[in-house]
Amino acid sequence: MSPMVLGLGLFMALPILMAAWVSFLDWDGQSNPFTPDAHFVGLENYRSLLGEDGLARTLLATSLRNNAYYVLLTVPLQTALSLTLAIIVNQRMLRGRSMLRTTFYFPSVTSSIAVCTVFLFLFQGSGAVNQLLGWIGIKGPNWFQDPRGVVWVLLDALGVSDDSHPTGFLADHRLMGLPLGEWLAGPSVAMCTLILLAVWTTSGTFMLIFLAALQNIPRELEEAAALDGAARRHILRHVLLPALRPVMFLVTTLGLIATWQVFDQVYVLGQGDPANTTLTPAYLSYSYGFDNADFGQGAAISFILLGIVLLMTGVQRWLLRERGGRDGRGALRRRLAAAGLPRAGVTEVEEARRAQD
């Protein structure tokens, strides 16, 4: 037992303390940062990221913008899709249910790197996806090379504005060093491929979570509703969806935590390109440390990211507390279901409550 504790401490708890220390240093990864010789710079790393005008702050702002749009689109899409798939696959009269379940779940168990490789091929300029789109008369964009924000692309297409880069007020005013027009641009076309990829790979896992919850709903409930003459959509709305509510919270929490940490996909599909529109805080942190040998700055970014993730779980925890009761049970099930995801740290909300019991 004690080696286990030691190991968890050594590779999980200690690193956080060490990183906290390094985030106050100017350290290039070479010397030993735990000697008095280390170059202590106080809050300088945080100040350059948050406080003063400069490249660091613009990069962080860009990565936050990118990641926020990624989260905003991925989480609702994957939740809605996985719920729909679960309800369909749960139909008792459906033929080939287990085949379908396997098909939808399979992308979740494969390696993110291998799957990214496939997407890289599919979404090339003259690739399979654009060929498919061509069949229905759409000229697909050059996905991975296209930094235009989809908001401006759409406005452009609708003829509202004729330029994919806004001028005037939106270009002149800045927030954290980034023009307002950039904040409002939405995810870039390139980022959209990452969103599609995330939805495609995670919906199977979440489908299984929903499916397990659906099968826990007592059959009598549905039967009683059916006997009372409730239509299918009423059963869905008044029986199934309310019963799934806790699981819905869970899935969105898992989604939020995982999507704020997107890294592998960024590494393979663009490393931030084009024009930094696929840059995410996780990748920026890595890149500062391992590409620029500025580990202090990198560590500071990872703490800012940690703050965001904790804030997200905090909000979810607060929402969950409102519901209370037995809903929080079975936390581990979800933790494990998440195993197919980038290993999100997930269930402390539920587990902490369990530990208190």
Partner 1 sequence: MRRTEIRLSTDERPVLARFPRPARVAGYTVLLAFALLYALPFLVQLATAFKSDPEAASHPLSLLPSDPTAAVFRQLTGSGGSGEGVPFLRWLGNSTLVTVVVTLGRVLFDSAAGYALARLRFRGRAVLVAFVVAVMAVPPVVLLIPKFLVLNTLGIFDTYTGMIVPLLFDAAGIFIMKQFFESIPREVEEAARIDGAGVGRIFWYVVLPMSRPALITVTLLSFQGSWNEFTHFLVATQSSDYETLTTGLARFVSGGLGAGTQYPLKLGAALLSTIPVAVLFFCFQRYFIRGANAGSVKE
Residues 10-69 that bind partner 1 (CB under 8 A): 10-16, 18-19, 22, 29, 32-34
Asked if 156 and 164 count as a contact pair (C-beta separation under 8 A), the reply is yes
Which of 4/55 has CB closer to partner 1?
A: 4
Tell me how far, at minimum, the Cβ of 294 lies from partner 1, in Å. Answer: 10
Tell me the angle at which helices 55-89 and 241-259 cross, rounded to the nearest 10 degrees. Answer: 150
Name the one range near partner 1 by CB under 8 A: 51-59, 119-127, 136-144, 173-181.
119-127
Nearer to partner 1, 28 or 156 (CB): 28
Nearer to partner 1, 19 or 151 (CB): 19
Does the footprint of partner 1 cover residue 118 (CB under 8 A)? yes
The single residue among 124, 142, 145, 164 that binds partner 1, judged by CB under 8 A, is 124
Q: How far is the CB of 276 from partner 1 (least distance, A)?
A: 16
Is residue 1 a contact point for partner 1 (CB under 8 A)?
yes
Cβ-proximal residues to 55 (8 Å cutoff; 6+ apart), any chain: none
Which phi and psi (to 5°) does residue 327 adopt? -55, -30
Question: To which H or E segment does residue 179 belong?
Answer: strand 178-179
303 binds partner 1 (CB under 8 A): yes
Applying CB under 8 A, which part among 63-71, 103-111, 187-195, 244-252 lies near partner 1? 103-111
Comparing CB distances to partner 1, the nearer of 126 and 159 is 126
Count CB atoms within 10 A of the CB of residue 212: 15
Q: Is 292 in the site for partner 1 (CB under 8 A)?
A: no
Binding mask 189-228 for partner 1 (x = CB under 8 A): -----------x---xx--xx-xx--xx--x--xx--x--
Q: Taking the complex as a whole, how short is the minimal distance between the CB of residue 207 and partner 1, in angstroms? A: 10
139 binds partner 1 (CB under 8 A): no
What are the start-end ranges of the E strands in the chain?
174-175, 178-179
For the four alpha carbons of 276, 279, 281 and 283, in that order, the dihedral sign comes to negative
Given candidates 187, 289, 316, 320, which one binds partner 1 under the rule CB under 8 A? 289
Residue 213 and residue 244 in contact, taking contact as beta carbons nearer than 8 Å: yes
In the block, tokens 């006997």 appear at 227
Distance between CA atoms of 277 and 190, rounded to whole angstroms? 7
Q: Which of 50, 306, 345, 321 is nearest to 177 (CA)?
A: 50
DSSP string, 82-117: HHHHHHHHT-TT-TTHHHHHHHHHHHHHS-HHHHHH
> Among residue numbers 159 through 178, which ones bind partner 1 (CB under 8 A)?
none
- 232 scored as a contact of partner 1 (CB under 8 A): yes
Is 113 an interacting residue with respect to partner 1 (CB under 8 A)?
yes
Query: Smallest distance, Å, CB 73 to partner 1?
Result: 18
| Contacting partner 1 within 239-258 (CB under 8 A) | 257
Of 65, 107, 179, 181, the residue at the interface with partner 1 (CB under 8 A) is 107
Residue with tokens 């700055």: 297
Token pair, residue 219, equals 């059959």
Q: Which residue has the tokens 């529109």?
A: 277
